[in-house]
Structure 1
Amino acid sequence: MDKVVPDAASAVADIPDGASIAVGGFGVVGVPHVLIRALQQQGATDLEVVSNNAGLEGQGLGLLLESRQIRKMVSSYVGENREFARQYLSGELEVELTPQGTLAEKLRAGGAGIPAFYTITGSGTQVAEGGIPWKYDSEGNVIASSPAKETRTLSFRGEENEYVLENSIATDFALVRAAVGDRLGNLRFHSSAQNFNPIAAQAGKVTIAEVEQLVEVGELAPDDIHLPGIYVHRVVALSAEEAAEKPIEKLTTREEAAS
């Protein structure tokens, strides 16, 4: 089955208002910039987005925040995006902060059909006990917070600890970026772009991948495939200019030595 679609606009055309979307990338690395811009132009609103962070101002998911298309973020990190932090603290955006490793496992488990899992992460903290602010009002009062989670004392590898039950995440759509993809949706990621992309792709009921290089079926050796095409439903081949788009999160330079 040839999964290649004509362009990013057609790939995201059926994403409705209120959809949940898992988005790959970390910072600005491995982010599906082209698909995100297409979604911004498409105009779907009230979105719930699951991603490690929300890019930077004017880049990646930062675009959807600026156009007020995101209702809720499920993330690990607010950090580098001032608009993300501003919307959260001013009550314009709901944010479900989740430990990074737990978020990754929630996506992986969702893709694997595992409804929930126990983890020691967050035991004895507000992650387990509840009370992490999810949403503020315009006056800075907390109007929604995380609930208490089920915990269980278990013996594992000879040690008894309290474990927290975490629900997995499965989303309506997923947007990812890969270095190479074939017409069946088999993907290969470059270096650290493997971050959240494979697990985001697994979690989506409909996964859309933008690929920097499109190859024919059979050109990717089995050992070079990082994500099999069974998880991918649509493939968008990027132009040379789009593929070359590799923004730098923090540009650090030094003075040139005197000759």
Structure 2
Amino acid sequence: MKKLYPSAQAALAGIVRDGQLMAVGGFGLCGIPEALIAALRDSGVKDLTVVSNNAGVDGFGLGQLLETRQIRKMVSSYVGENKEFERQFLAGELELEFTPQGTLAEKLRAGGAGIPAFFTRTGVGTLVAEGKETREFDGKLYVMERAIVPDVSLAKAWKADESGNLVFRRTARNFNPAVIMAGRVSVVEVEEIVPVGTFDPDEVHLPGIYVHRVVHNPHPEKRIEKRTIREKTA
């Protein structure tokens, strides 16, 4: 099975549709699949429910999809520094499901592990628990959270071999492994592609069995750095 695609647009061809549940890796601007998000924007798909820790910033990352009104609902742990995210939510233009950060990570991990639901103490007695099943264990109350299994997952890694075995770089790993594992179809953007056999098995952070499509996007962090410098000097 060939997993390498010549462009982000080609990697998304035939798998993205209106109204899908999508998960996107990254934390802030760290480890976001920049090229895949841009290709998703250019595809014109709409009414998406997007699961991600946050929605980038205005005009960058998932912030681009908010500006084009392609996202109907966000499932995330915080609004972050995205003013358009805040504006749409307060104006009732964007549905938002706030989820505690650790719970969000576990919902994705559970989805990838085939676990349909789990119980957690986080959120008990708050708005987070409203409408959800609760159960007592050892004298303490827990709330049940359902796993997340996205139709499509978009993520970022540092290196991949031709079979999709992945290596992440430092904090850019963040939500990406869980996002990849959870997706019915997972597309991964990488900075370097190497031949099979390059990695020692102990070096592999996530095996290629979870990865369906890989696209090469070298050195995206340089563009992020330039953008940040421009903002600081503006």
TM over 0.5: yes
Q: Name the counterpart of 1:5.
A: 5
SS at match of 1:106: helix
Counterpart CA distance in 2 for 1:203 and 1:238 is 23
Structure 1 match to 2:147: 168
How do residues 16-165 of structure 1 correspond to structure 2 at under 5 angstroms? 16-128=17-129, 130=130, 148-155=131-138, 160-165=139-144
Deviations 1:37-93 (A, max 9, x none): 011111111111000000000110000000110011000010210100111110111
One of 195, 200, 208 as aligned partner of 2:174: 195
Deviations 1:222-247 (A, max 9, x none): 1111111111000001245x464344
Structure 1's consecutive aligned runs of 4 or more residues displaced over 2 angstroms after TM superposition are: 242-251
Question: Which residue among 195, 198, 215 is the counterpart of 1:236?
Answer: 215
The 1:168/1:248 distance shift into structure 2, 3 A limit, reads farther
**CA 1:76–1:249 in structure 2 vs 1: closer, same or farther (change >3 Å)?**
farther
Aligned CA distance change for structure 1 residues 46 and 247 (closer, same or farther; 3 Å): farther
SS of structure 2 residue aligned to 1:171: coil
Q: Residue 177 in 1 paired to residue 160 in 2?
A: no
What TM-score, normalized by structure 2, do the two folds share? 0.94
Q: Tell me how far apart the structure 1 counterparts of residues 118 and 106 of structure 2 sit (CA, whole Å).
A: 9
Higher helix share: 2
Aligned residue number for residue 245 of structure 1: 223
Alpha-carbon separation, structure 2, partners of 1:111 and 1:200:
8
Deviation (angstroms), 1:206: 0.5
8 Å Cα contact 1:17/1:47 also seen in 2: yes
Q: CA deviation at 1:250?
A: 7.0
Count of residue correspondences? 229
Separation in structure 1 between the aligned mates of residue 203 and residue 224 of structure 2, nearest angstrom: 22
The equivalent residue for 2:190 is 211
Find the residue that maps to 1:175 and give its secondary structure: strand
> In structure 1, what is the Cα distance between the partners aligned to 2:33 and 2:196?
22
SS of residue paired to 2:93 = coil
Q: 2: CA distance between counterparts of 1:66 and 1:56?
A: 11
Q: Which 5+ residue runs of structure 1 have no aligned equivalent?
A: 131-147, 252-259
Give the deviation of 1:207 after TM superposition.
Answer: 0.3
Report Cα offsets for 1:125-174 as digits up to 9, x if no partner.
1211x2xxxxxxxxxxxxxxxxx11111101xxxx310110000000000
Q: Is the 8 A contact 1:76 1:98 kept in 2?
A: yes
Q: Is the Cα–Cα contact under 8 Å of residues 28 and 247 in structure 1 kept in the other structure?
A: no
Q: Tell me, which stretches of 5 or more residues in structure 2 are unaligned? A: 230-234
User: Identity percentage over the alignment?
Assistant: 57
TM-score by length of 1: 0.85
Q: Could you tell me whether the CA contact under 8 Å between 2:55 and 2:80 is conserved in 1?
A: no
Give 3-state SS (helix, strand or coil) of 2:190's partner.
strand
Q: CA deviation at 1:248?
A: 8.1
